[in-house]
Homo-oligomer: A and B are copies of this chain.
Amino acid sequence: MHVPIQVDYGVRALIDLAENSLQGDIQASDIAKRQEIPEQFLAQVLHKLNKFGVTTSRRGPNGGHRLAIKPSNITMGYVMRTLGNNTHPVCCLESQSKCNKSAKCTQKNVWSEVEQAVNQILDSTTIEDLIKQN
């Protein structure tokens, strides 16, 4: 299993935004410096979070980003679906037509179970949880 670096960066950025929420809009360059994330790449990540309604942004001087949702309502599952490349463990979980190699797909159930277990954990863990743990 592999967590895309974008998810890692995204989560760290969201935590950074949450912890600095009093200072109004926060610029990508500041987050990038604090979190040691390539700035341009972070801009893309933040833009995605913006498109999916997790953050808002303002352009221009003193522009920046801020959370659009409370940290307690941002789940890891949602961040994962926003920033990850949401592929299923095996292609037979994507659509039945893709699982035509073996008539009876013996593995479908296990991998589906695995997927659900992962989602259950991620959907019940919020950015706030991560902050409180530390």
Contact = CB atoms under 8 A, between A and B. Distances in A.
Interface of A: 1-3, 8, 11-12, 15, 35-36, 76, 87-90, 101-102, 104, 106-107, 109-111, 113-115, 117-118, 120-122, 125, 129-131, 133-134
How many copies of this chain?
2
Contact of A118 (B2, B106, B117, B134): B117
A2 B3 contact: no
26 contacts: A1-B2, A1-B89, A1-B115, A1-B118, A2-B87, A2-B89, A3-B89, A8-B107, A11-B106, A11-B107, A12-B106, A12-B107, A35-B102, A76-B110, A104-B134, A106-B130, A106-B131, A106-B133, A106-B134, A107-B130, A110-B121, A110-B122, A113-B121, A113-B125, A117-B121, A118-B118
